[in-house]
Chain A
Amino acid sequence: MTVPSLLTTADLDRLIRMLADGGYTCVGPALRDGAIVYDEIGGVADLPAGWTDVQDAGRYRLERRGDGALFGYNVGAHSWKKYLFPPAEQLWRIPRATDTIRPLTPPQHPVRHAFIGVRGCDLAAIGIQGRVFGHGEHGDGRYAARRDAAFVVAVNCTMAGGTCFCTSMGTGPAAGPGYDLALTELVDADRHGFVVDAGSERGAALLERLACPAAGDAEIADARARVDETAGRMGRTLATDGLREVLLRQLDSPHWDEVGERCLACANCTLVCPTCFCSSVEDVSDLDGSHAERWRRWDSCFNPGFSHIHGGEVRNSTGARYRQWLTHKLATWHDQFGTSGCVGCGRCVTWCPVGIDLTAEAARLREREDSA
């Protein structure tokens, strides 16, 4: 166990540049089009200093904080899954030949990403997707390869957003295992620094190369207190006790169709969700028919055609599709992968255009059962 270091903003900038020099493509939060997204960054100057976000069901706004905090906001619509499980990926490309199909794997240029600013909820989500893609007799090794290559700089949250409920899901506000470095931002009128903790050997090695002073007991205690305090300020809560069983008993509830009346089946929730993993393959050929390709693209259980079998859709109503999404996320995910599929990041609540709130719907289903 190494002693946490105390970094300045300039030290953090050095850290990012050292990662870039080490061959990592650094990605982190950045301001784009009125939102905080994840994109390539060159250093601290690219981070959304002094900005925060205000979130509620169906609502996301940026505001000025009044200080220079670099991580003083919560998660936006993007998650790290776009780097580890790309939205569109070529699986193979083959030439047409009269005597054989000789599959060619796409050229592998494994990008080594350094993720700067991974929240506890998102770190948990990366772990969950790792289980999903590693699951079964034929695991998909590409996810694991990208994940193993990635360097993770986590951020312990010192503020909770309006749609956050990581404490309910046990994923935050402190980042759990899986990070290489975890930092807690201390920002006050008279100082701005980071208590940084190593979670891996390569994290510890990098920290050593940075050669920053050890954080003092007061700073460590301050950092811990800010994170602990954040745990009590969640905008949402989800009662997970027995939730799987409640939901599986409610498969025939009229409540699903009631949600279906409000839901637009726009698939936003599944696209912003850091654990949703559904995909489709698309087979295409070029115009002269000399080559064919297969692409894998993100899909959503809300999309028409998703559950198609000969004759039509199995899930033929929006209510049925919402039920699939919610019960998969909060109930059958446990059967499949031994965990919940929800990390409490709140994205599905924030980015639902009609403000459907997973925590409220789950609570309502529990109430309906209690009052039945």
Chain B
Amino acid sequence: MKSLEELIGEHPLLAGFAPAHLALVAGCGSNTHYGPGEFLCRAGQPAQHFFLIRRGTVALELEIPGRGPFRFSTVTAGDVVGWSWLIPPYEWQFDARVLEDVSAIRFDGACLRGKCDADPALGYALMKAFAGVLVKRFMETRLQLIDVYGRRD
């Protein structure tokens, strides 16, 4: 069985991280499983974690009063759930609901922030990795906004 360090080193988010940094990150992580209908996080709650998805599917949703949940994205193996742990006020902005059995590595945000503060090189590497995730989400959201397939008549 692979060690947690090996597992996270294979994840696209942390590809290219120095072994020493991987060890530090792994120290804040643990394997976890969720069944369909369970929530990885809920909007408004303290964002204490983020997740590297290894298997399964998660829907990112926002509850709209009177309309029900609006699903703006789904994520799957190789994706990341959660950036709110990194940026104050450390509060989830959306719901992450499991659609298909999820295996993930869950990281303790406070633990990682402490290590980043102590080792700015690690902090910079993680910040760059998360910036990449955010930029991709942002670009995809822009594309959704353009509504490229919509009718124009």
A interface residues with partner B (beta carbon < 8 Å): 310-312
Kindly report which residue of chain A lies nearest to residue B153, judged by CB atoms.
A310
Question: What's the nearest-Cβ distance from chain A to residue B47, in Å?
Answer: 40
B152 on interface, CB distance cutoff 8 Å = yes
Question: What DSSP secondary structure best describes chain A's contact surface?
Answer: loop
Count residues of chain B with CB under 8 A from any CB of chain A.
Answer: 2
Question: What's the nearest-Cβ distance from chain B to residue A58, in Å?
Answer: 38
CA distance A172 to B152 in the complex (A): 50
CA distance A57 to B46 in the complex (A): 72
CA distance A121 to B42 in the complex (A): 75
Q: How many A-B residue pairs have CB under 8 A?
A: 4
CA distance A291 to B152 in the complex (A): 32
CA distance A312 to B152 in the complex (A): 8
Residues from chain A with a CB closer than 8 A to the CB of B152 are 310-312
What are 4 A-B pairs at a CB distance below 8 A? Answer: A310-B152, A310-B153, A311-B152, A312-B152
In the A-B complex, the 4 residue pairs with the smallest Cβ-Cβ separation, listed nearest first, are: A311-B152, A310-B152, A312-B152, A310-B153
Per the 8 Å Cβ criterion, residues 76-108 of B in contact with A are none
Question: What's the nearest-Cβ distance from chain A to residue B150, in Å?
Answer: 9
CA distance A215 to B39 in the complex (A): 101
CA distance A312 to B150 in the complex (A): 13
CA distance A310 to B152 in the complex (A): 7
CA distance A310 to B148 in the complex (A): 11
Residues from chain B with a CB closer than 8 A to the CB of A312 are 152
Residues from chain A with a CB closer than 8 A to the CB of B153 are 310
Per the 8 Å Cβ criterion, residues 121-137 of B in contact with A are none
CA distance A312 to B151 in the complex (A): 11
CA distance A311 to B152 in the complex (A): 5
Question: What's the nearest-Cβ distance from chain B to residue A28, in Å?
Answer: 50
Question: What's the nearest-Cβ distance from chain B to residue A166, in Å?
Answer: 45
CA distance A311 to B146 in the complex (A): 12
Kindly report which residue of chain B lies nearest to residue A310, judged by CB atoms.
B152
CA distance A312 to B153 in the complex (A): 9
Kindly report which residue of chain B lies nearest to residue A311, judged by CB atoms.
B152
CA distance A197 to B152 in the complex (A): 61
Question: What's the nearest-Cβ distance from chain A to residue B25, in Å?
Answer: 44
